[in-house]
């Protein structure tokens, strides 16, 4: 949305193809909206998404989502997008890297393409383990040999069926043959490939293709008006008294809020901290009745994180990528958990950066969570590393730079 808004504000025509549930938010940016065909819309045809059980992560569960939604659907998306491109005749196509039909069709039509990834970088390369492995980069020669072997194994064995399926889906579409790791293939189709984070949050590597650029995340700006929440005076009093403020938050649409709030409430009930947690689409009374809440817990249905992060000392989260980046952009250290989808890789980067503690579980035990919170609050190195990342985020303009790249690829001079 911030990228579309930047382009519209510069006077350019933007047509956005997306699911119908997002139409109102998309048109609010000034972009025109065109819906995805119902049989291709995740929200209208999401049976594959429900096969993921966050308690049982792994390659088989990942493939159950990957194959129907991202690989086998390529021909259907090509057929759906084709008339849209024919009528709109864009100078450039801008797409999520996982929607492979977009760069396939753009190349077929001779239209330039910018792809982006809004999560952990999914490309293979020297010095890093294969994406999705949940491993940190090796620090020893033997470990680097391990990573080379695992990269070969991922490409030629574990995801061989995915590569073959993608070859079938793209046969006859006039694009290069799919070789190697299937996610690397998208980079070959792109004129530019934007990573919506900062290089300091990614594993270091010197072999990225020249089309790859870190532009920074597209973070929400400060709200025009504060959200009316009851906990605000409590937060102010805690700050004045020197009591740490712990923000407990989850990625929207992921997990039952109770799976995060109840362990946090139990873990921190007797600690000298103020805990503020959000319940989202659940009534706070249904998540944890007021009569059973610890005295230091405040439950709110909704609070914009950007409103509380400037006064927070720590964020406890299930590790959604956007939540992690938002906290670090404010210099707030983290305690994270969650081992499904991209949360495993996102949380590993929190651990690797030194800006927080990662509990490798889908639901933390209160004792482990309490120990992690105590460690991060007591050790100033975590806040120092979070502060280092905040400075890095401040150097990357995110949406503004992404819009500049799109216009460069389109052959339009940015104004």
User: Tens of pLDDT along the chain (415 residues)?
Assistant: 999 999 999 999 999 999 999 999 999 999 999 999 988 887 765 554 554 444 455 677 778 778 888 999 999 999 999 999 999 999 999 999 999 999 999 999 999 999 999 999 999 988 899 888 888 998 899 998 999 999 999 889 999 999 999 999 999 998 989 888 889 999 999 999 999 999 999 999 888 999 999 999 998 777 777 778 888 999 999 999 999 999 998 766 555 777 788 999 999 999 999 999 988 878 999 989 999 999 999 999 888 888 899 999 999 998 789 889 999 999 999 999 887 767 889 999 999 999 999 998 878 899 999 999 999 999 999 999 999 999 999 999 999 999 999 999 998 765 5
Which tokens go with 295? 């005295």
Closest CA to 113 of 90, 93, 91, 140: 93
Reported as type and span, the H/E element at residue 67 is none
β-partners of residue 337 are 359
- 3-state SS class at 191: coil
Q: What are phi and psi of 213, to 5 degrees?
A: -140, 135
Domain range annotation of the chain: 2-217+396-410, 232-394
CA distance 114 to 107: 11
Q: Give me the long-range contacts of 56-60 (CB less than 8 A, separation at least 24).
A: 57/339, 57/340, 57/341, 57/344, 57/362, 59/132, 59/158, 59/159
What does the pLDDT read at residue 250?
A: 76
CA distance 366 to 379: 20
What homologous superfamily is domain 232-394 in, according to CATH?
A: Glycogen Phosphorylase B; (3.40.50.2000)
What homologous superfamily is domain 2-217+396-410 in, according to CATH?
A: Glycogen Phosphorylase B; (3.40.50.2000)
Residue 394: count of CB within 10 angstroms of its CB: 12
CA distance 68 to 49: 10
Reported as type and span, the H/E element at residue 334 is strand 334-337
CA distance 12 to 33: 15
Which tokens go with 172? 């006859």
CA distance 238 to 129: 43
């Amino acid at each position: 949305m911030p990228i579309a808004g930047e382009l519209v504000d510069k006077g350019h025509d933007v047509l956005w193809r997306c699911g119908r549930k997002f139409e109102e938010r998309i048109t609010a940016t000034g972009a025109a909206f065109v819906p995805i065909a119902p049989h291709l819309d995740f929200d209208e045809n999401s049976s594959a998404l429900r096969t993921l059980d966050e308690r049982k992560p792994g390659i088989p569960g990942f493939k159950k989502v990957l194959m129907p939604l991202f690989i086998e659907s390529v021909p259907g998306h090509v057929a759906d997008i084709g008339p849209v491109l024919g009528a709109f005749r864009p100078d450039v196509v801008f797409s999520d890297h996982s929607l492979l039909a977009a760069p396939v069709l753009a190349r077929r039509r001779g239209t330039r393409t910018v792809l982006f990834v809004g999560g952990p970088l999914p490309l293979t390369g020297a010095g890093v383990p294969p994406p999705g492995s949940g491993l940190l980069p090796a620090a020893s020669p033997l470990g680097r040999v391990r990573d080379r072997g695992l990269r070969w194994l991922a490409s030629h064995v574990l995801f061989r069926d995915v590569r073959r399926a993608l070859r079938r889906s793209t046969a006859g579409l006039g694009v290069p043959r799919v070789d190697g790791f299937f996610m690397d293939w998208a980079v070959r189709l792109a004129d530019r490939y934007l990573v919506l984070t900062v290089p300091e949050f990614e594993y270091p590597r010197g072999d990225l293709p020249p089309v790859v650029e870190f532009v920074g995340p597209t973070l929400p700006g400060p709200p025009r008006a504060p959200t009316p929440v009851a906990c605000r005076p409590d937060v102010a009093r805690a700050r004045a008294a020197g009591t740490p403020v712990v923000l407990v938050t989850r990625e929207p649409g992921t997990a039952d809020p109770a799976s995060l709030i109840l362990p946090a409430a139990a873990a921190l009930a007797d600690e000298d901290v103020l805990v503020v947690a959000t319940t989202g689409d659940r009534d706070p009374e249904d998540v944890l009745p007021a009569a059973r809440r610890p005295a230091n817990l405040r439950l709110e249905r909704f609070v914009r994180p950007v409103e509380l992060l400037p006064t927070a000392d720590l964020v406890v989260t299930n590790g959604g990528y956007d939540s992690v980046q938002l906290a670090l952009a404010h210099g707030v250290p983290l305690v994270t958990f969650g081992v499904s989808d991209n949360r495993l890789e996102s949380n590993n980067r929190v651990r690797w950066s030194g800006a927080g503690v990662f509990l490798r579980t889908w639901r933390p035990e209160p004792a482990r969570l309490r120990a992690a919170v105590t460690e991060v609050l007591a050790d100033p190195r975590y806040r120092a590393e979070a502060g280092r990342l905040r400075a890095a985020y401040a150097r990357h303009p995110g949406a503004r730079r992404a819009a500049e790249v799109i216009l460069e690829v389109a052959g339009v001079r940015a104004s």
